[in-house]
Amino acid sequence: MIDSTYGDIFRDAYATLHGGRSGEFDEGSERNAGEPVQAYLARTRSESLGIMRKRLLASEPAPALRTVHQLLVDLLTNAAAADEALAAQVHAYQCGQFHESVGHSNRLQELVVASQGIDRDLISEIRGLPDDVRSELSIEV
């Protein structure tokens, strides 16, 4: 049996990475006065990923969910690192530091490729869960 609180946390974390849960909208933080849209989007995404990762790490999955739990934590970690690499790449490019920009771009590519593999593993693991566990999680993949 899956604790309903854990199920909510899992679904929220999954939705953070794979698109929002239908019918729900999180207003999140507001844009600061004078904050460029790009900075606002980066900040709020970073906050969202960090909060979800902390919530997931603070929760205890049922034994049947330990693997998918860790994969989801790994994906949240990679998503935050990819966002940081992208921001660093854009900043270096805007500053005319093209060699540095390419280095950040290469790091971003590595993170994206790794995340694709983790995501495939996550979806495969979710599909491999017993029907009753998947039903309790209310996750369709």
pLDDT in tens, 105-132: 999 999 999 999 999 999 999 999 999 8
| Contact status, residue 20 vs residue 79, Cβ threshold 8 Å | no
| Contact status, residue 101 vs residue 93, Cβ threshold 8 Å | yes
pLDDT confidence of residue 25 = 43
Q: Can you give the residue ranges of every domain in the chain?
A: 4-17+42-137
DSSP state of 62: -
pLDDT confidence of residue 30 = 83
| Contact status, residue 139 vs residue 127, Cβ threshold 8 Å | no
DSSP state of 129: S
pLDDT confidence of residue 24 = 46
Q: Tell me the C-alpha distance between 37 and 131, whole Å.
A: 43
Q: Find all residues with CB under 8 Å of 2, minimum gap 6, and list them.
A: 62, 65, 133, 136, 137
DSSP state of 96: T
Percentage of the chain beyond pLDDT 70 is 93
Q: Whole-structure pTM over 0.85, yes or no?
A: no
pLDDT in tens, 78-94: 999 998 899 889 889 99
In this predicted structure, the answer to whether residue 22 has a pLDDT above a threshold of 70 is no
Q: Find all residues with CB under 8 Å of 127, minimum gap 6, and list them.
A: 141
